[in-house]
Amino acid sequence: MPLSTIVDPKAAKAPGPRPVGHPPVKIGKIGVMLVNLGTPDGTEFRPMWRYLREFLSDPRVIELNKAIWYPILYGLVLTTRPKKSGANYARIWNREKNESPLRTYTRAQGEKLAEALRDLPNVVVDWAMRYGNPSTSSVAERLVAQGCDRILSFPLYPQYSATTTATANDQLFRALMKMRAAPAVRSVPPYYDEPVYIEALASSIERHLATLDFQPEVVIASYHGIPKPYFEKGDPYHCHCLKTTRLLRDRLGWDERKLITTFQSRFGAQEWLQPYTDKTVEKLAKDGVKSIAIVNPGFSVDCIETLDEIGREAAETFHHAGGKNFAHIPCLNDSPEGMAVIEAMVRRELSGWA
């Protein structure tokens, strides 16, 4: 006999009576937390130093032994890099809100998702950063304080890497370790090959290319790199990136010469995933390619790596090497296509809860 004929589901979920004098308890809500990488609170030396220290102290990001890495981090990196990085951030800083574009866009995604999920009154949407503010722990505590006994965490990285998705999950569980009554938790899996994501990327690319006054000979799908040893130890990130490009190429009807994969943002002396974006851009120009466009499928929102590293540095490299026409295709951000991806993934992963 079906369970539904024996037990009324609503009655089964109804809270029982509390003893006289029992303090009020908020329960029964579901928190959805969008989690992005992070951002400094300002472009000056101190906020940049705090952000870089937290980021580069993560053992999943830098896997060197602390006895080797920390003297380099505190003796060299944190004495020189904050000033340079601060200057880069200053070029893209949202002056109106006095924050980085990553924070602006992530907040907008959270607000639009909350509006899209208004048909689920017991769902509370918030957003957090793995590094910087608002911190993952503070947002988790805020959701629990609102009565969320279940939390769906959404690390906003389409392709999985231990340096991104895993460290976002690590930070959430660190927060739960400090809670007496910790909520149940789910994490949205990587969505590098989800049809809604591939369609959103393709539609965004097509729409942007239609606004250009030139036709790019080559479009580069540039992903954030990871050290090659991380891949060799089993990180699936490289495979996820290649599959995203392949599916995107199939959807757009392009061949392997039209849409290529590269990796950017390398740091330190060791070898990273190749081909490198900057070297590829330079070589294309020297080989006679006059028009290119670059898209960043691995970034859910525009940030320092897309707006400055690609929008400025890659453009300068291409032009200096002889290229003529350069375009950076924006990330999905809080566009209708981007929000369609986020909403679809959240609704699917809320199944059985909401």
Residue 25's DSSP bridge partners are none
Whether residue 224 is annotated as binding a ligand: the answer is: yes
- Which among 183, 170, 276 has a CA at the least distance from the CA of 223? 276
> Computed from CA positions of residues 172, 173, 178, 182, in that sequence, does the dihedral angle turn out positive or negative?
positive
Contact present, 188 and 153 (Cβ < 8 Å): yes
- Put the strands of the sheet holding 259-264 in their side by side order: 259-264, 218-224, 291-295, 325-329
Structure tokens at 76: 């060299």
User: What's the distance, Cα to Cα, between the start and end of the chain in Å?
Assistant: 25
What are the DSSP calls for 114-133, one per residue?
HHHTTT-TTEEEEEEEEEES
Cα-Cα-Cα-Cα dihedral of 247, 252, 258, 259, to 10°? -40
Residues annotated in a binding site: 224, 305
Residues annotated in a binding site for Fe(2+): 224, 305
